[in-house]
Structure 1
Amino acid sequence: MTTDYLITIGLLVGLFSIPAMLAAYVDDRFPRGPMAAFVLSAAVIAIALMLNPMRYSVAELPNVVVRVIADILN
């Protein structure tokens, strides 16, 4: 179950870093923070896949996220 949390955290951080990178590009400044967050999210996702490589597929990722959210709410 911990790899489920890692993959969900990685996806959320990566998702939130994309608009920040676009905002930095529009403001004509280098996106240091958003780029670091994106690299961190990629590293966390890679660690989760290395810990449990046979468990995740692209089609199963929405189920993983919903499972983590349900576990947090319960």
Structure 2
Amino acid sequence: MFTDYLLTIGLVLGLFSIPAMLSAYADRRTPRTSMAAFILSVAILALAYARHPGGYAVADVPNVVFTVIADIIK
């Protein structure tokens, strides 16, 4: 279950960092913070994939995310 949380955190962090990177490029600024957040999200995703027995399939990701969200709401 811990790896499910890592996967979800990595996905959310990565999804939030992409618009920040695009905004920095559009404003002609260096995207230091958003690039660091993106690299951190990739590292978290790699850790979740490596620690989960058998890894994750692409088809499993939506179920994992919804399971984590449901666990947080409960």
Calculate the TM-score normalised by the size of structure 1.
0.96
What is the aligned partner in structure 2 of residue 5 from structure 1?
Answer: 5
In 1, the alpha carbon distance for the partners of 2:27 and 2:53 equals 39
Identity of aligned residues (%): 62
- Describe how 1:9-48 pairs up with structure 2 within 5 A: 9-48=9-48
**Per-residue CA distance 1:4-45 (angstroms, 9 max, x = gap):** 000000000000000000000000011000000000000000
Which segments of structure 1 move beyond 6 Å, counting only runs of 4 or more? none
Alignment partner, residue 51 of structure 1: 51
User: What are the Cα deviations for residues 46-65 of structure 1, in whole angstroms up to 9, with x where unaligned?
Assistant: 00111015141111100000
The two structures, once aligned, show a CA RMSD in angstroms of 0.8
Which structure 2 residue ranges, 5 or more long, are not aligned? none
Q: Size of the alignment, in residue pairs?
A: 74
